[in-house]
Structure 1
């Protein structure tokens, strides 16, 4: 899973406000297209998810997977696949937040492996579509 895809967007809000939205996994179906359900299974001492189950509808694929989260305050969150789905066999992602000119630059990085053989170019294009959709949805949700 060495190949990763990333993209960034500027959001007119403080890091803490944006990370609060990112940490509210249960609300993702309202603003992140393709997410059908997000259920937190375990939380840490800070109240943020440590493990969760994600059900998504990603165009040609639908699946449910288990994810483990690592939080670095309001600066960064990473997640890794801990329960494979029927289609997804590997997944690593992160949001990194950096203060930038009165707002925050949000960078989303994603690497996904699937059971179905797929050309690297096609896989990266799919990851890019997921990332761009998520960043635009996050920006709309936070700035509204």
Structure 2
């Protein structure tokens, strides 16, 4: 059962600063407690990550994932799951818009576990991901990229 969510939040930094933090994929474990290890395997010509291997642990499940990242300047970034031990699908996006007080961030995520899980567990994993994106990324940007 695939589930999708979006969350919007504000970060007091420029879109360029926020995107620089997002592009620091290898530093995900610093602000996302679910990410245990991250290795950038290939990069795009501009140096931003393309294919990334990571170990993620959420709701008691550990997942080895390979994801491909796509970038649209400092406006948006998306990723698509290529391979996973626990998920059939995962797609995510960050869309950034300049605002009066910094940057409006819209985070979207779709996940579909390979094994049937109770709906409340899938929703808990989804909520954890949304909270981590909003709180963890905000703190990471404000402490490291302003």
Q: 58-67 or 125-134, which moves further after superposition?
A: 125-134
Contact kept? 1:5, 1:124, Cα under 8 Å = no
Count residues in correspondence.
Answer: 143
Match of 1:4, SS?
strand
Q: 59-68 or 13-22, which moves further after superposition?
A: 59-68
**Per-residue deviation at 1:123?**
2.3
Partner of 2:91: 92
Partner of 1:6: 6
Contact kept? 1:92, 1:111, Cα under 8 Å = yes
**Per-residue deviation at 1:84?**
2.2
Alignment root-mean-square deviation, CA: 1.6
Instruction: Assess, with a 3 A threshold, how the Cα gap between structure 1 residues 3 and 88 changes in structure 2: closer, same or farther.
Output: closer
Partner of 2:25: 25
Partner of 2:48: 48
Find the aligned partners of 1:129 and 1:59 in 2 and give their Cα distance: 9
Residue correspondence of structure 1 range 66-105 to structure 2 within 5 A: 66-85=66-85, 87-105=86-104
Find the aligned partners of 1:119 and 1:30 in 2 and give their Cα distance: 29
State the TM-score, normalizing by the size of structure 2. 0.90
Q: Does 1:59 align with 2:59?
A: yes
Partner of 1:116: 115
Partner of 2:139: 140
Instruction: Assess, with a 3 A threshold, how the Cα gap between structure 1 residues 4 and 36 changes in structure 2: closer, same or farther.
Output: same
Contact kept? 1:6, 1:128, Cα under 8 Å = no
State the TM-score, normalizing by the size of structure 1. 0.91
Q: 68-77 or 118-127, which moves further after superposition?
A: 118-127
